Amino acid sequence: MKLFFVAAFLAVAAAVPSSYKPEYKAPSSPAPNYPAPNQSDERNLDGSTQWSYAQSDYTTREESQVQKKMQGVTYDSYGKESYGEVLGNTNKGSSYWVSPEGQKFTLTWAADEAGFQPKGDHLPVAPVHEYELPVAPVHEYELPVAPVHIPFNGKGYKIY
C-alpha cells in the first residue's frame, strides 16, 4: 500500500508543470538569410554520374563523370603488358566557397587522359623564366676519330 502512495505521489509530481522559465534573450543581430541547402545525385545505366550540393553558407560543388574508351596499357595474367582500348573515367567539376575573411573562391577542374587540370584565380602560377641561349663559338672544331679495326673471318663473324 505504501508503494502505491509513493508511485502516485511521483506521478503527480512529474505531471505538474514547472514554474521555472529561463529568461529569453533576443539575438543581437538579425540572422542572415541563407538559401536552403540542397543536393542531387544522378547515376545512369551507362556508368555516368552527376551530383551536386549547395549548403546554406553558399558553398557549392558540382561534379560529373563519364566512362569512355581510351588507349591504355592492359596486363594479362602473366604480367605481360599490351596496349589497347580500356575503359576510363573522365571527370569535370567545380567548387565555390567563401573564406572566413569573406574572400570568394571558385575552382574548376577536368580529369581525363591528359591528367588533372585545375583552374582558379587563387591557384599559384609557375614563374616563366626567360633566358638567352649561349652564343655558338665562331670556330667549329672537328674531333679526331680513332680508327677501329675488327677482324672478320670472311663469313661476317668477328674473330676474338
Q: How would DSSP label each residue in the chain?
A: -HHHHHHHHHHHHHHSPP---PPP---SSPPP-PPPPEEEEEE-TTS-EEEEEE-TTS-EEEEEEEEEEEEEEEE-TT--EEEEEEEEEEEEEEEEEE-TTS-EEEEEEEEETTEEEEE-TTS--PPPP--PPPPPPSS--PPP-------B-SSS-B--
Tell me the pLDDT band of 159, cut-offs 50, 70 and 90. Answer: low
pLDDT digits (tens, 9 = 90+) for 90-116: 999 999 998 888 889 999 999 988 888
SS3 content of the chain, % helix, strand, coil (to 5): 10, 40, 50
Residue 157 pLDDT > 60: no
- Whether pTM > 0.75 for this model: the answer is no
pLDDT score at 153: 58
pLDDT score at 64: 93
pLDDT digits (tens, 9 = 90+) for 14-68: 665 666 666 766 666 565 666 677 888 898 888 889 999 888 888 899 999 998 8
For the segment 114-121, the average pLDDT, to the nearest whole number, is 89
pLDDT score at 91: 93
